[in-house]
Every structure is written in C-alpha cells, then in structure tokens.
Amino acid sequence: MKEYEYEPVRGLPEHLPPGEEMLWQGAPRWTTLARRAFHSWKVALYFALIIAWRVLADLAAGRALAEVLAGALWVLVLGLLAVGGLSLLAWAMARATVYTITTRRVVFRFGVALQMIVNFPFAKIQSAELKRHLDGTGDIPLLLEPSERTSYILLWPHARPWHFRQPQPMLRSIPDVAKVAEILSNALNTYSSETESADAAVADVASVEATGASEGTTTP
C-alpha cells in the first residue's frame, strides 16, 4: 500500500508489465455506498423518529400548531444536514475510487484527500465471494492468504465489515456485480491453471535433472 500522485493509467500507478492485461475497471455506486457503508438511511430514520416524537409530545402538551411545526423544523434541518453530509462523503469516495482487475491481480485506488493504491496479486488471494443487493449492486470480498496482512482502518470502506483480525479487501457497491464476479472468477481460475502448469513443468525438469545425475554416478 502506498501513496502516489502520478497516474499514467487511470486507477494504476504505472503501466502494466508485458503479458498482463486489464480485464475490468469500475467504481462503487455512490447511492448504495451511502446506504450500506455510511448508513445514511439509519440516520434518516433516526431523525424521522425524533421529529415524530417531538410533534406528538408538543401536541399532547397543548402547544399551538405553529409552535409544533417550528419545533420540528429545526430537527428536520439537522437531519437533512446529517444525511446530506454522509451522502456527499459517499459521493466523493465513490468518485475517487477505481477498482481494477487484471490477469494477475486486483488493484484498489482510493482516497479523497490523500489517494492511495494497493495491489492484491492473485498469488495472495485464496478465494473471492459474492454478495448481491436488491438494487442490483453487490460486494466482492477477497480472502487473502494468512501471511498477507493489511489494515482494516486504511482500507475502509473498501473492507468487509467486522473482519478486523483478518481484514478482507472488498470491491464494494459494484453495479452489475454478477458480471464482475464472473470476470474475476475466470481470471483467478486461469491464473491458477497457469501456475499449476508452470509448477508441474519445473517439477518435471527437476526430476529429469535428478535422474540424469543419478545415472551419471559410477560406483568405484
């Protein structure tokens, strides 16, 4: 994970090396990010309940309607400011975020005031999951190798909720998430097959060399 200023390719700190191809790029849908990461709907519900309680309490106390409405108005203003602030922050974070899937890794670029980038090579990814939402978006958390440590705080909100001890980076609030999950799954499977083939080839070469050395040994 590192900070960077120069971006030769959108979402990447440098050009991809020869043999590596970009398969997909995308970003969170800010409206879903506001609801699920910043819980803007819960804040809106909280203020709605406060307003309802305030109105009922004032009416029960026999206050004039104008006074009741005035008392509820300032609570409404506070609620709108709170929800608006959370929505603005979600929009800014979504706008600053780029998720990239290549044939070798997953790359996160994120950060509003200070942009950062983090690479997750396929060799360090054990598996990926898919969680769909009713609005058609979804999340794709990545389960990393136990030896691969990352920071939940630095990744948030691009981390699976409540997984603090072993943080799981997460492509969050992705539109058309099923298609993206299929792209990632195919890329991981292809990489795994290529890696296994390469390991098998190395093992065969080592076996041949060992056999040749054994046959070339003479007993005095």
pLDDT in tens, 160-178: 999 999 999 999 999 999 9
Domain holding 49, by residue range, is 33-93
Residue 47 lies in a domain: yes
Tell me how far the alpha carbon of residue 173 is from its chain's centroid. Answer: 8
Q: Give the SS3 label for residue 98.
A: strand
pLDDT at 2: 54
Question: Does residue 120 carry a pLDDT above 80?
Answer: yes
First to last CA, the chain: 59
Counting the structural domains of the chain, the total is: 1
Please provide the DSSP assignment of 105-161 as one string: EEEEEE-SSS-EEEEEEGGGEEEE--EE-TTS-EEEEEEE-TT----HHHHTTSB-T
Residue 86 lies in a domain: yes
pLDDT at 86: 98
pLDDT at 207: 46
Residue 218 lies in a domain: no
Q: What are the tens digits of pLDDT across the range 182-212?
A: 999 999 999 999 887 555 444 444 444 444 5
Mean predicted lDDT score pLDDT of the chain: 88
Residue 80 lies in a domain: yes
Q: What are the tens digits of pLDDT across the range 51-78?
A: 999 999 988 888 888 888 988 999 999 9
Residue 85 lies in a domain: yes
Residue 219 lies in a domain: no
Cis previous bond, 157, omega within 30? yes
Residue 43 lies in a domain: yes
pLDDT at 65: 87
Residue 78 lies in a domain: yes
